[in-house]
Amino acid sequence: ICPGARRTVVDASPPLRARAVVQMTYTGAIRSCERSGRWEEGLAFMDDMKERGIRPDTRAHNVLLSAVCKAGRWDEAKALLH
């Protein structure tokens, strides 16, 4: 974690801090899926985030977009942009 992100998490209130940690964990899982070519699992993680009320941030969207683009899944990429 970069120092600025860590400071934001540490300074946040406990519920906000917990949400940020969960969000970063999901993003890390999506990144692992992107790196291993498992875009469908990354998409499932994104759906799970949303179902649990955790709003995916720009980083999570970009990583998932990268995963589907690397797989040549253009329809899924377009859907992520809308």
For the stretch 22-69, pLDDT in tens is 899 999 999 999 999 999 999 999 999 999 888 899 999 999 999 999
Assess whether pLDDT exceeds 80 at residue 78: yes
The angle formed by the CA atoms of residues 19, 58 and 27, to the nearest 5 degrees, is 55
How far is it, in rounded angstroms, from Cα 46 to Cα 27? 8
2 pLDDT tier (thresholds 50, 70, 90): very low
Indicate the helix (H) or strand (E) that contains 56: none
Return the higher-pLDDT residue of 41 and 3.
41
pLDDT band at 71 (very low <50, low <70, confident <90, very high): very high
